[in-house]
Amino acid sequence: KAGVTQTPRYLIKTRGQQVTLSCSPISGHRSVSWYQQTPGQGLQFLFEYFSETQRNKGNFPGRFSGRQFSNSRSEMNVSTLELGDSALYLCASRAGENTEAFFGQGTRLTVV
Amino acid sequence: GQNIDQPTEMTATEGAIVQINCTYQTSGFNGLFWYQQHAGEAPTFLSYNVLDGLEEKGRFSSFLSRSKGYSYLLLKELQMKDSASYLCAVRSGGFKTIFGAGTRLFVKA
Q: Among partner residues A45, A90, A99, which is closest to B96 by beta-carbon distance? A: A45
- Contacts with B89 (C-beta within 8 Å, 6 or more apart), sequence order: A43, B4, B32, B33, B34, B35, B97, B98, B99, B100
Give the mutation candidate from B96, B98, B103, B104 for the A interface (greatest A CB count, under 10 A).
B96
Q: pLDDT for B49-90, tens place per residue?
A: 999 999 999 999 999 999 999 999 999 999 999 999 999 999
Segment A28-81, tens digit of pLDDT: 999 999 999 998 778 999 999 999 999 999 999 999 999 999 999 999 999 999
Indicate whether A1 pLDDT > 70: no
Q: Which of B91, B8, B74, B54 is nearest to A45 (CA)?
A: B91
**Residues of B with CB below 8 A from A50's CB?**
95
Instruction: Kindly report the nearest CA distance between residue A94 and chain B, in angstroms.
Output: 12
Residue A19 banded pLDDT, cuts 50, 70, 90? very high
Q: Is B25 part of the contact surface with chain A (CB cutoff 8 Å)?
A: no
Cβ–Cβ < 8 Å for B94, A55: yes
B102/A42 Cβ within 8 A: yes
